[in-house]
């Protein structure tokens, strides 16, 4: 898998924002779902496929969250910026 990953403790109501120069899958997952994602298994996530930016995902509950930017199996040099908007 070709993806960008960051892990952060985020509070409910925070927003993760992605600015990117190419379409991608932008997701947040819990630790157990991230483990399933890495193994190619079924997993739950918030977010989805985005082609317009900035993309934003609101944090549903306070926890450690895995922020993932996935190119859907493709390979590319991308320009991106991930910001955490803390309320």
Residue range 10-59, pLDDT digits in tens = 999 999 999 999 999 999 999 999 999 999 999 999 999 999 999 999 99
Q: What is the pLDDT of residues 54-77, one digit of tens each?
A: 999 999 999 999 999 998 776 678
Q: Look at the chain and report how many structural domains it folds into.
A: 1
Check: pTM over 0.85? Answer yes or no.
yes
Peptide bond into 57 cis (omega under 30): no
Instruction: Give the number of other Cβ atoms within 10 Å of residue 63's Cβ.
Output: 14
* Domain with 25 in it: 3-85
Distance CA 59, CA 61 (A): 6
């Amino acid at each position: 898998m070709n993806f960008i990953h960051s892990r952060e403790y985020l509070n409910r109501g925070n927003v993760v924002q992605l600015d990117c120069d190419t379409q991608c899958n932008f997701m947040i997952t819990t630790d157990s779902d991230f483990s399933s994602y890495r193994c190619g298994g079924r997993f739950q996530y918030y977010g989805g496929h985005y082609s317009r930016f900035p993309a934003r995902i609101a944090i549903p509950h306070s926890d450690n969250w895995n922020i993932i930017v996935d190119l859907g199996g493709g390979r590319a040099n991308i320009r991106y910026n991930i910001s955490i908007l803390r309320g």
